[in-house]
Structure 1
Amino acid sequence: MTTQPTGPVDPVADLSALLGELAGDHPSTPPAAAAPADDEPVYRNVAAFVGDYLAHVVERRLASGPTSGINWCPRWWAHPEAISRLYALWRAWETLRVSDPQTGMSIWWRDHLDPHLAALAAEYGSFSRCGPDKHTEPRPLPVEPAPPEVLAQFPDLDDI
Structure 2
Amino acid sequence: MTTPSSGPVDDPIADLSALLGQLAGDSGATPPTTEPSAEPADQPVYRNVEAFVGGYLAHVVERRLATGPTSGVNWCPRWWAHPEAISRLYALWRTWETLRVSDPQTGMSIWWRDHLDPHLAALTTEYGPFSRCSPDKHTEPKPLPVEPAPAEVLAQLPDVDTL
Which bracket does the TM-score occupy, shorter chain normalised? 0.7 to 0.9
Counterpart in 1 of 2:45?
42
Q: 1:63 maps to what in 2?
A: 66
The one-letter code sitting in structure 1 at the alignment partner of 2:107 is G
- CA shift, 1:117, in A, is 0.2
Superposed displacement of residue 33, structure 1: 4.2
Q: Tell me, what secondary structure is at the counterpart of 1:155?
A: coil
Gaps of 5+ in 1: 1-19
Instruction: Choose the corresponding residue for 2:80, options 77, 80, 84.
Output: 77
Please state whether the residue corresponding to 1:62 is helix, strand or coil: coil
> What is the aligned-residue RMSD (CA, Å)?
2.0
Higher relative contact order (CA 8 A, sep 6+): 2
Whichever of the two has the greater Rg, that structure is 2
Q: Percent identity?
A: 78
Does residue 1:102 correspond to 2:105, yes or no?
Answer: yes
Which amino acid in the other structure matches residue 58 of structure 1? V
Tell me if 1:32 matches 2:28: yes
Tell me the TM-score normalised to structure 2 length: 0.79
Retained in 2: the 8 A contact 1:77–1:83?
yes
CA distance in 2, matches of 1:38, 1:74: 31
Which stretches in structure 2 are left out of the alignment for 5+ residues?
1-10, 20-26, 31-36
Residue identity opposite 1:89 in structure 2: L
Alpha-carbon distance between aligned partners in 2 of 1:50 and 1:94, rounded to the nearest angstrom: 13
| Equivalent residue pairs, number | 138
Residue 105 of structure 1: CA displacement? 0.2
Q: Give the deviation of 1:25 after TM superposition.
A: 4.6
> Does the 8 Å contact 1:33/1:42 carry over to 2?
no
